[in-house]
Amino acid sequence: MVHGLRLVYNRRRLYRQDGLEVMRVLSAWLAHRCSCTGVPPSLLFR
């Protein structure tokens, strides 16, 4: 029982790290694209 909970917890932690990585890459890509098109990123995140 405890082992299963630990597996779920580890998996959730991995998912959270993946989510942060995805958000970081996405925000960097958006900032790069906005700088290319000339649109300020603050307009998107408002």
Q: What is the pLDDT of residue 24?
A: 86
- Take residue 43 and report the two structure tokens written for it: 């307009």
Q: Are residues 30 and 41 in contact, defined by beta-carbon separation less than 8 angstroms?
A: yes
Instruction: For residue range 8-44, list pLDDT tens digits in order.
Output: 777 777 777 777 888 888 888 878 776 766 666 565 5
Output the pLDDT for position 17. Answer: 74
Give the tokens for residue 24: 């970081």
Q: Does pTM surpass 0.85?
A: no
Given this model, what pLDDT does residue 4 score?
67
CB 44 within 8 A of CB 30: yes
